[in-house]
Each structure stands twice: as structure tokens, then as C-alpha cells.
Structure 1
Amino acid sequence: MRAVVYADVRTVDVREVPDATLEAETDALVRITSTALCGTDLHMYDGRTSAEPGLVLGHEPLGVVQEVGAAVQTVRPGTRVVIPTHLFCGTCVMCARGLSAACLRARAEGPGAAYGYAGMGPYRGAQADLLRVPWADANCVPLPGEPGDGYEDDFVLLADAFVTGWHAAAALAEVEPGDTVAVFGAGTVGLLGAYSALLRGARVVYSVDGVDARLDKAGEIGAVPIDFRRATRSSRSAPTGPGPGCRSARRSWAGSTRSSTRSGSRPATGSTPTGSVRTRSSPTRPGWSTPSARSRSPVSTRTGTHTPAPARTARRTWSRRGERCSARGWRSGSVAPTTAVTQSCCGTWSSRAERDPA
């Protein structure tokens, strides 16, 4: 079969490699119809990992089941499936808790495994004609339609990119109806994070970038494009709310002005009705510890400006290791912290609260 193979630093080849085969009765063999590139592939391409020449790359596959082992029950040959990046057993204690990216059985050296990635197990990647999928009942997600139909390019995003954007909006930033959101970076994951925030009911989502094509796409999906090269609202701005491709939650977009001070912060006396800006982050890879912040800043819905913060607006820093947290107060009379959500090329999200000088 043909596959994209890591050859050396900044060198990849398309080569003939041995066909993937079933190795266990719980395996499935999937013929790949589409597979996406990922920013994390650049770590290997640029020589920042222990990748050995000959490694088959890729971890974002969509395809059709070609063969299954005797113990597979939920998919059959001919089933169209999308396959998550992190393979998992589905039955260990971590998988049972919903932490499948830290599966304890997929890799002997430690928790978690992935296709086609250095240090993440012996599994060949998905940029190939065929892919062996262990624990097929857990890892193959059936989809409707036929290969090459109008949903092909959309469904392949479900392997990694869309779920990363959704995780940023839903789990990390905890976007809720009426929130105002800014996403810095309008690459694939940044755009999908912005779109996910709109699906979650955000009142307005600002998408900040400096590439014309990205700004155009941000406007198409319903975000407000901000061109940082001009430091002004882009002429590509579009009405807020999801684009024409979304049919699920249009009722939330009419610009809700629902007040909220969910953190317990209270606006100054005589201030106008408030909305809330919310952000929260935590590492997206097991064992990583990245500073993050969660804040709710009173924002005037009439003037669009920040109202003075209360004497003690708590800033909380979370760590995944041991679930530790610490808090510190902002100085009385300072400007309330504004929120920022940033995205790296590998889809890892973080957020921070920045305070203007008092």
C-alpha cells in the first residue's frame, strides 16, 4: 500500500509499505478515503521529536471498514467511519471515567496512544491506503453517506480538528448563551473554535487574524473578522450567528442581552446591565500543566466598555496535576481583566486574563 512516510528532518516521501493487517480479533481494517494534516505533524517534520525514518504519518482519518476481527460487533465491512486521533481500549479505568486520551492499555510505556506519532505507541499512521484500528468497537464511529459525497470534507474534521475547537469552546472556555468571545488565530482549529462558540450560543464572536482568506472564512461562518494588521474591525465583517451551514440553534443569535455576574462579581453602583466574558483553560494532553485563568468581567451592554472591577475580582490558576488551584485578588480600583483565548499550531488552547495598568 502507499503511505506518507517520515524520511528525515523536513523530508517526507510517498512510499510503498507493507499492507496493514488484522492483528487481534478486536481489530478492524479501514480503507482510508480522506485524511487531514495536523499542525502536530510539524513537530516531527521539523525534527523536534524522536521520530525514526520510515514512520507512517497521520492521525485524522475517515474511511470505510474493509475487514473486521471475529470479536468486533458494532461495525461491519462497508460501514463508513471516522476514527479519533487517540486510540483507546474503552474499558480501562481511565476510559471508564471518560479520559480515553489517557488510556492505560493502548501503550505499555505510559497512558495514551495515537496513530502515526513519535512516542505514542507502535501504531502506523492514517496517511495511507489502509489503517489498522485496534479495539474497533470503541474507535470506529459510524457515519451516514458514501465516500466522496458532499459531506466528505466535513466528516473528516470530526477526527480531530472540529472536536478540538469544540473542546476549547465548550469545556475550556465554557461558552454559554449571551457570552462575548474573542478567538486569536483563524487557522483550522481557530475557525472551528469560533464556530463552536456560535453553536454554544455566544452573542458575538470576534475572530482575529491577519490573513485575508482566513478573515473571509470567519465572516462566512458568522464571526466578526478583526484584521490585526489594521487594528480595526475588518470590512469583511458579517452578521453574528452561525453561517448558512448550521441549522441547529439559530434561536440564540438575536443578540441576547441577558445579564450575568455568575462569579459573584457585582458591577459598580449605577452601572448599566452587564454581560459576562468567560474563559477557562486546562491542558489538552495528559500530564501537561499550563497556566490558565477564569474571569468574568462586567461589560456594559450599552456602551461596550468595561465597568470598574470590584475590590476583589478573583483570578484562579488551575493545574491538571492534583487539581490544584490558587487565587489572587486584583487591586481595588483597577480595570477589570479582559479575556483572551489563544491557539497554538498543534491545537492546544490556553487562556489568560490581562489587566490594564492601573
Structure 2
Amino acid sequence: MTGNRAVAYKSAGVVEVIDIDYPTFELKDGPGVNPANVGRKVPHGVILKTVTTNICGSDQHMVRGRTTAPSNLVLGHEITGEVVEAGPDVEFIKVGDIVSVPFNISCGRCRNCKERKTGICLNVNPDRPGSAYGYVDMGGWVGGQAEYVLVPYADWNLLKFPDRDQALEKIMDLTMLSDIFPTGFHGAYTAGAGVGTTVYVAGAGPVGLAAAVSAQLLGAAVVIVGDLNPERLAQARSFGCETIDLTKGEPGEQIEQILGVPEVDAGVDAVGFEARGHGKDADHEAPATVLNSLMTITAAGGALGIPGLYVTGDPGAKEKAAQVGSLSIRLGLGWAKSLSFTTGQCPVMKYNRQLMMAILHDKVQIAKAVNAQAISLEDAPRGYAEFDAGAATKYVLNPNGYVKG
């Protein structure tokens, strides 16, 4: 038995590294754990020694106090690890394997899982379809921003890397497979990015940058990224994207300056419910802004991929309707233009193996695109603070020293 250190949400704007229990093959009561999950046996699970675990923009929503997350909730749903213990029902995953963990927890047995809809598994969260590690209202599975973490349904959930040495050499890229790379790819793919298309990505945070890289990987002719943050826009330009500064106003006119027309074939919302206005309104929240602007600038018959997070409960919202996830979106415009919408959690397992192969065979450099930087677990509070302040960086926590240099 060994100790365990983890990053926990304490209160709005505050995270701390705390001591927690070493995982066992049973769900225990604790902050955020659904009472119906307490005592749940996990003989099909493994315990991972964390190789890398990343800070995500979705974590930031909780840390800003914009959800009902309880104090001491252990954070972290982007996990890569080494198997150190396997439950008695695990058959194919072995101790010593280096694996990527999809952020969505799924059983592999229910109707949705069998249809590859792993983001809305029916069996892992008693409250609603879909679950994730270290996230409010997602069943209470303990987060992975820790030295050790339990992963259920291991034979189903885990993506094993074929070669340990190669995996550790490319770990800063491979760590993105747990969430933001598949999520960004899902946004670009469901928006219809493909050979010769024009794509607009709203938001130049890590998911937006991953969506932009994914659109390029899918063959887009032009990828345009919009944001309010000049450092993040510079990061998008670093790998060949066009950019627009949304402090100057709505995106349509700037898109026309780039393409000759004020519209694109495919639109991606990588911002979510904490969106701000454009131009003179950029100093305050306007949660429907991105969705409405995308419906305006996406060509008739096009599609919107929406990997940006929208929630059913936002107690920090200024508008009463927005506090329950109700937004004033121009659905009539979307209907009139025959636009398609894809929302919800990315079904990571639909994409992660193919994206792993693209990384291993040098077809994409996702870590460079999102400006990944490894920091220690103890340095996580600084990483959260700098990311919240707009740093153009994807912070990768290195709890056990696997990442060298």
C-alpha cells in the first residue's frame, strides 16, 4: 500500500494538492460520489500509476465556481497511465502496460456502448447517461489528477500503446488522446471538415486548436480560428491557421477578407457556455454568442460541430434562464439554412486508436500545436491560475516523473 496525492477543487478559484486514499476495486463515499455508486465493486478495473494527466478547460468551469461541484472533489479526466494492479476480471490488459484512458467512462455492455455512443453509457452514472472521471454530476468516479487512479471496465476502456519506449518518447502527444484531440477531431469531423473545405473554429483554447489541427488532418483547404486572446491566436497561426480577432467585431466581415465570401463550409464551437460577446460586447458574457454567430456564417446546408461544453446548471450565470442552461439561440435561422448540429461528449473510443496511429507515424504533432508544457503535480495550482488567465498553453501534469526534461 502506498500514499496518493491529488488535485482537488476547494472553492471558487481555489485548487489544492491534497492527500487522498490509494484506490481500491470498490467505489467509496466521498465528495461528488453518487450515493447509488457507493460500494460498487470494480473487479473489471485496474489501478494506474499516472504517467500524465492534463488540465482541461472543462475543469476550469468547475474551478471558476460555475457548477455545483462540491469542495474536495478530486479533479482530472485526461489520464494516461501505467497499469500497476489489475482486478480479477481483467483478461487482456496487463500490469506494465502504458495506456490512454478515454475521459468518458463506459461499460461496453449497454445498448449505447454497443452502438459506439460511449459518451452516453447507460450503466456508469445513476443520474443520467454519460460519465467522466473527476467531474460534477458524472457519477462520482475519482479524478485522475493524482498519483494513482482507478479505471473501471479496463479491457473495454483502455487504449494500450503498442510499444512502451515509443509511447514514453511521444508521451506529450499521446497524452492528448484522452480528451482534447478526439474532442477537437469530433468537432471538426461532425462539422463536415474534409478535403477542400473551409472551416471556422470559434475559440483558440486547447480544444479549439485541436479542432483546427484535426481540420487540417482531414484535408481542409483553409482553417480560420477566432478568439479574443492575441496569444492564443498567435498559437493558431504557428501551425498554419488564418486567424480573426473577435475584439474587432463579428467574424463574418473578417472571414470575407480571407475567403472572399462571409461564410464557411463548416463551423466548430470550441468555446461553450462561458462565451463572451464580440466587438464592443467582448467585455461581458453572452453565452449564445458563438452558436448564433456560427449559424450566421456557416453556409446553407452546412454543419456545426459543438464540442464546447454546455451545462444544465450554471449557478454563476447572470441571466436566470442561463442558470438552467436555457440560451436565446437563433434556431429559426439554423432551420432556415438546413444546418446540422452535433453536440455532447465526444465518444473518444470512436477516434482514439486512429489518432494514436497518426501520432505514432508522425502525421500530426498535436502537443506542439496546443503548446503543451509539463509541470509537477504540486505545481497544478499555478497551472490552473495561468490557464484561467488566458495562457496559450496546455498544462500536462507529471505526477510520477515519467516525463523527462
| Coarse TM-score class (shorter-chain normalised) | 0.5 to 0.7
Q: Is the 8 A contact 1:280 1:294 kept in 2?
A: no
Deviates further, 121-130 or 221-230: 221-230
Counting only pairs closer than 5 Å after superposition, residues 136-285 of structure 1 correspond to structure 2 as 136-143=154-161, 144-146=163-165, 149-171=168-190, 173-228=191-246, 279-281=302-304
State how far apart, in whole Å, the 2-side matches of 1:7 and 1:177 are. 46
State how far apart, in whole Å, the 1-side matches of 2:222 and 2:332 are. 19
> How many residues end up aligned between the 2 structures?
266
Deviations 1:33-83, CA, capped at 9 Å, x for gaps: 111111121232122322222211110011111111122122111111111
Q: Which has the larger radius of gyration?
A: 1
- The 1:287–1:35 alpha-carbon spacing in structure 2 relative to 1, beyond 3 Å, is closer
The higher relative CO (CA closer than 8 Å, separation ≥ 6) is in 2
Q: Is the 8 A contact 1:180 1:277 kept in 2?
A: no
State how far apart, in whole Å, the 2-side matches of 1:295 and 1:180 are. 20
| Aligned residue identity for 1:181 | V
| Aligned residue identity for 2:172 | D
Which has the larger share of strand?
A: 1
| Aligned residue identity for 2:17 | V
- The 1:108–1:209 alpha-carbon spacing in structure 2 relative to 1, beyond 3 Å, is closer
- TM-fit CA distance, 1:113: 1.1
Specify the alignment match of 2:146 in structure 1. Answer: 128
- TM-fit CA distance, 1:208: 2.5
Match of 1:29 among 47, 50, 53: 47
Deviations 1:147-200, CA, capped at 9 Å, x for gaps: 9844111111111111111011102x1112111112232111111111111111
State how far apart, in whole Å, the 2-side matches of 1:320 and 1:196 are. 16
- TM-fit CA distance, 1:13: 1.1
State how far apart, in whole Å, the 2-side matches of 1:142 and 1:36 are. 18
2:16 is the counterpart of 1:13 = yes
Specify the alignment match of 2:317 in structure 1. Answer: none
Aligned residue for 1:186, secondary structure, equals coil
State how far apart, in whole Å, the 2-side matches of 1:51 and 1:226 are. 34
- The 1:287–1:122 alpha-carbon spacing in structure 2 relative to 1, beyond 3 Å, is closer
Aligned residue for 2:224, secondary structure, equals strand
State how far apart, in whole Å, the 1-side matches of 2:300 and 2:176 are. 28
**What percentage of aligned pairs have identical amino acids?**
34
Which has the larger share of helix?
A: 2
| Structure 1 gap segments, 5+ residues each | 232-260, 262-275, 297-312, 322-344, 346-358
What is the TM-score when the length of structure 1 is the normalising length?
0.65
- TM-fit CA distance, 1:283: 5.8
State how far apart, in whole Å, the 2-side matches of 1:292 and 1:151 are. 43
- TM-fit CA distance, 1:294: 12
- The 1:141–1:294 alpha-carbon spacing in structure 2 relative to 1, beyond 3 Å, is farther
Specify the alignment match of 1:248 in structure 2. Answer: none
| Aligned residue identity for 2:138 | M
What is the TM-score when the length of structure 2 is the normalising length?
0.58
State how far apart, in whole Å, the 2-side matches of 1:224 and 1:118 are. 36
Aligned residue for 2:232, secondary structure, equals helix
State how far apart, in whole Å, the 1-side matches of 2:330 and 2:83 are. 41
Q: Is the 8 A contact 2:196 2:219 kept in 1?
A: yes
Specify the alignment match of 1:316 in structure 2. Answer: 338
Counting only pairs closer than 5 Å after superposition, residues 40-189 of structure 1 correspond to structure 2 as 40-143=58-161, 144-146=163-165, 149-171=168-190, 173-189=191-207
- TM-fit CA distance, 1:133: 0.3
Aligned residue for 2:57, secondary structure, equals coil
- TM-fit CA distance, 1:122: 2.0
State how far apart, in whole Å, the 2-side matches of 1:93 and 1:175 are. 29
Aligned residue for 1:221, secondary structure, equals coil
State how far apart, in whole Å, the 1-side matches of 2:336 and 2:65 are. 41
- TM-fit CA distance, 1:287: 10
Q: Is the 8 A contact 1:80 1:146 kept in 2?
A: no
- The 1:180–1:294 alpha-carbon spacing in structure 2 relative to 1, beyond 3 Å, is farther
